[in-house]
Amino acid sequence: MTTTQDEQGEIIDHDEYHSEDTLRVERRVADGAYRITRGEQVVGEENWAILALKGGGYRVMTELHLDWPRAHQQRAELDCDSDWNPLGLWAEIDLNGKRRSATYWIEEGGVLDVRITEGKLSATDERARNSNRPQPAPRVVFAHAYGFESGANFDFASALFNFVVLKRLQLGVGRGASFESVVVTLPSLEPVAIQQTYAYVRDEPLDRTTGTGIARRHTIREVDGEDAVTTFWTDANGIVIRQTVSLDGVPHGCEMIEYRWNG
């Protein structure tokens, strides 16, 4: 990911990329909820959905409510074409009385345009979003363009994003693949490019809240091998059932508590 331009300090209107436009939605492919854990403690919940869009393509949506390390909310939406290639990403975080929003849009020629805005958060924000009254525009705090490889993927703090990666890779048992990931870092929402390797390790029995059965075990490693290894299990549809990674000796992860697949 190479830098090609930079601008900061502008004032712009709220971006509407993240709105769920019912005119664009053809059907709901799947939805569900994860329990987010740190050690033995439940620290939050994630609600997600996968939508098929009219004219082809998909939208992956997620919202997380977390109590650790302090109470905050995260939201993200990823748009893909009919082959699950990423087209653009929107992310948002509410933390410390501020709302930060980011748009990641892939332009022609493999250029990734990233723009991040920040504004004050108040109890009336949700009501304001649904009204026609003008609202103060957030301030642009980051604007950059980068090169984006055709095989690159987006990575956000949600196990659901692994579903999209697996759809693109189509790994067989015992196979793996390496690629560049553009990570949306928290809490800044700024991008960091890393090299990741996904591997489909084996099929194995897995007990879980949503039932028992055979699951597909996968791992995620940084290419340099220095960071912690993430392990996750999916069902036959590629939806993550459980995920875990040890950070500073403490396991962090999620587990499916509710799930509907409509196809």
Q: What is the mean pLDDT of residues 126-150?
A: 78
Q: In this predicted structure, what is the pLDDT of residue 6?
A: 39
**Predicted local confidence at residue 213, as pLDDT:** 82
pLDDT at residue 4, as a whole number: 41
pLDDT score recorded for residue 20: 52
Query: Residue 129 has what pLDDT?
Result: 54
Residue listed under structure tokens 């892939």: 106
- Return the pLDDT at 162: 98
pLDDT > 90 fraction of the chain, expressed in percent and rounded: 75
Give the pLDDT confidence score for residue 248 in this predicted structure: 84
Of 133 and 5, the one with more pLDDT: 133
pTM for the structure as a whole: 0.85
Q: How far apart are CA 82 and CA 52, in angstroms?
A: 9
Specify the higher pLDDT residue, 259 or 127: 259
- Provide the CA 27 distance to its chain's centre, in angstroms: 20
Report which of residues 30 and 222 the model is more confident about: 30
Domain boundaries, the chain: 3-261
| Average pLDDT value for the chain | 88
Banded pLDDT at 125 (limits 50, 70, 90): low
In DSSP notation, 157-219 reads S-TTHHHHHHHHH-PPTT-EEEEEEEEE-TTT--EEEEEEEEEEEEEEEEEETTEEEEEEEEE
Please tell me the predicted confidence (pLDDT) of residue 137.
81
- pLDDT tens column, 181-194: 999 999 999 999 99
Distance CA 118, CA 139 (A): 5
What token pair was written down for 149?
């490889």
Mean pLDDT, residues 50-64: 96
Per-residue pLDDT at 122 = 73
